[in-house]
Amino acid sequence: MQLEDLVIDKDIEAEAWEALEKSIVYYHGRPIGTVAAVDNSSEALNYDQVFVRDFVSSAVIFLAKGRTEIVRNFLEETLKLQPKERQLDAYKPARGLMPASFKVVSIDGKEYLDADFGEHAIARVTPVDSCLWWIILLRAYVVATKDICFAYRPEFQTGIKLILELCLANRFDMYPTLLVPDGACMIDRRMGIYGHPLEIQALFYAALRAARELLICEGNPGNQDIVAAIDNRLPLLCAHIRQHYWIDINRLNDIYRFKGEEYGRMAVNLFNIYADSLPYYELDKWLPIKGGYLAGNVGPSQLDTRFFSLGNLMAIISELATEEQSQAIMNLIDERWENLIGDMPMKICFPALEGEEYRIVTGCDPKNIPWSYHNGGSWPVLLWMLAAAAVKTNRIDLARKALAVAQHRLRKDEWIEYYDGKKGRLIGKQSRKYQTWTIAGFLLAKELIDNPQHLPLVSFEELPQELVSRACEFEINTVDSSLYL
């Protein structure tokens, strides 16, 4: 690629801004979010709603440009939608949950917000990621405006607390990771990501870090226990992911020679992973010497070796991954450019599930056929996370190259939601046009490359040392303490 190809076209940027403005939703005359897509050529379904996860991309670019009002309104209005009472009806959203999406409805000339917590969604999936993104966005707003008093308001303190009570509640499993049902995040369909998927863990980690900065104990005695619970959880979660999710050629070698059926404290193969369940011949070819990544999921006799972009990129941005691991992930993206970036940045996951595995794992989902949509499709929204990870690791050239690959096609194809095919050359079979997070993702990627000083809106530094040392004292047996550092 020539240097001039790396120059971002000003006209494309101006068109993207125009399209983003058109996606803004007003409530009582005030901007409160952006719709998922402004596409009149296909049935709206719920694409005419404001999705919490989709809005984050728009929100961060608005914050970077000083347009804080829309984000403030969004945070205030979504907070009002969060259920505050214990729910006895199991079909109703639990206390603390945030909706997947909402829309403005007009009854007798009066406007209301109608929220969907997954009870209307296709397959009734729970949007676990919404409440995590919500805390991350609240913290981004505070970073941008320096208005910490906004987050200290009692209703926000309660909102954060209710989310954390939901996430930190005792459950049956004994891992520091968060146990969730299938389709609980960006991949909101059955894709074999139930259990402890990386995407949720990376967002959980970032949300805990954000909540730790935003919660104030003074005047809120109830917050003390929550803060203590976060302090306990953070280092354990961090070390667990760094150790058990990590795959590189050395780790693959260890797993390849793992013994099974180990009982008791001294077990090395804690999760009883059987090497035969892994595509190790493929991985042996695919893993570059200096590359590595975090696995998609870890559980009893389960190591999902698919590469999931959002989880890996957010792990870099939030510093859930070590500095060395972050560099290795970026090396992998660089060395396996054709697979992970191809003709449209970037693959949601790699490789796709095919054949019998596709049929069993997705339930024969025609939208998720191999190399389409969530099953190995390419999603331009991921560009901004790639850019943020590139800034964080000082690999900006990779982001520049990816943006240059994307820009002309994005405009020509009218800001498509996703692309299909092994290299991302086909316009997604059921893809929407003028998909807002595609537009915002492009603008935000460009902004982060041009003005890396905006990175702290979404990024975190390494965990404070005192938390790490405390966790080392009681968890030394199960995790390698060097991984905290």
Region of 46-54, 206-214, 258-266, 278-286 interacting with ligand GLC (CB under 6 A): 46-54
In whole angstroms, how close is the CB of 395 to ligand GLC at the nearest point?
A: 26
Region of 50-58, 190-198, 385-393, 422-430 interacting with ligand GLC (CB under 6 A): 50-58
Considering only 19, 32, 36, 144, the residue that binds ligand GLC (CB under 6 A) is 36
Number of residues that bind ligand GLC (CB under 6 A): 6
In whole angstroms, how close is the CB of 183 to ligand GLC at the nearest point?
A: 9
Residue 53 lies near ligand GLC (rule: CB under 6 A): yes
User: Looking at beta carbons only, is 361 or 472 nearer to ligand GLC?
Assistant: 361
Footprint of ligand GLC on residues 108-167 (CB under 6 A)? none
In whole angstroms, how close is the CB of 435 to ligand GLC at the nearest point?
A: 7
User: Looking at beta carbons only, is 54 or 77 nearer to ligand GLC?
Assistant: 54
In whole angstroms, how close is the CB of 345 to ligand GLC at the nearest point?
A: 17
User: Looking at beta carbons only, is 331 or 438 nearer to ligand GLC?
Assistant: 438
Residue nearest to ligand GLC (CB): 36
In whole angstroms, how close is the CB of 420 to ligand GLC at the nearest point?
A: 14
In whole angstroms, how close is the CB of 97 to ligand GLC at the nearest point?
A: 16
User: Looking at beta carbons only, is 56 or 467 nearer to ligand GLC?
Assistant: 56
Residue 443 lies near ligand GLC (rule: CB under 6 A): no
Residue 349 lies near ligand GLC (rule: CB under 6 A): no
User: Looking at beta carbons only, is 190 or 242 nearer to ligand GLC?
Assistant: 190
Region of 49-57, 74-82, 354-362, 400-408 interacting with ligand GLC (CB under 6 A): 49-57
Residue 54 lies near ligand GLC (rule: CB under 6 A): yes
How far from the centroid of its chain's Cα atoms is residue 206's Cα? 10
Kindly state the tokens that stand for 186.
């960006």
User: Looking at beta carbons only, is 54 or 447 nearer to ligand GLC?
Assistant: 54
Considering only 182, 188, 248, 447, the residue that binds ligand GLC (CB under 6 A) is 188
In whole angstroms, how close is the CB of 36 to ligand GLC at the nearest point?
A: 4
SS (H, E, C) the chain: CCHHHHCCCHHHHHHHHHHHHHCEEEECCEEEEECCECCCCCCCCCCCCEEHHHHHHHHHHHHHCCCCHHHHHHHHHHHHHCCCCCCCCCCCCCCCCCCCEEEEEEECCEEEEEEECCCCCHHHCCCHHHHHHHHHHHHHHHHHHCCHHHHHCHHHHHHHHHHHHHHHCCCCCCCCCCCECCCCCCCCCCCCCCECEHHHHHHHHHHHHHHHHHCCCCCCCCHHHHHHHHHHHHHHHHHHHHHHHEEEHHHHHHHHCCCCCCCCCCCCCCCCCCHHHCCHHHHHHHCCCCCEEEEEEEECCEEEEEEEHHHHHHHHHCCCCCHHHHHHHHHHHHHCHHHHCCCCCCECEECCCCHHHHHHHHCCCHHHCCCECCECCECCCHHHHHHHHHHHCCCHHHHHHHHHHHHHHHHHCCCCCCEECCCCCEECCCCCCCEHHHHHHHHHHHHHHHCHHHHHHCCCCCCCHHHHHHHHHHHCCCCCHHHHC
Considering only 27, 51, 117, 419, the residue that binds ligand GLC (CB under 6 A) is 51
Residue 27 lies near ligand GLC (rule: CB under 6 A): no
In whole angstroms, how close is the CB of 374 to ligand GLC at the nearest point?
A: 6
- Are 210 and 136 a contacting pair, CB within 8 Å? yes
Considering only 79, 186, 332, 333, the residue that binds ligand GLC (CB under 6 A) is 186
User: Looking at beta carbons only, is 36 or 321 nearer to ligand GLC?
Assistant: 36
Cβ burial of 40 (10 Å; 0-12, 13-18, 19+) is exposed
Cβ burial of 478 (10 Å; 0-12, 13-18, 19+) is middle
User: Looking at beta carbons only, is 291 or 296 nearer to ligand GLC?
Assistant: 296
Region of 25-33, 47-55, 171-179, 446-454 interacting with ligand GLC (CB under 6 A): 47-55
- Are 427 and 44 a contacting pair, CB within 8 Å? no
In whole angstroms, how close is the CB of 390 to ligand GLC at the nearest point?
A: 23
Name the residues that contact ligand GLC, by CB under 6 A: 36, 51, 53-54, 186, 188
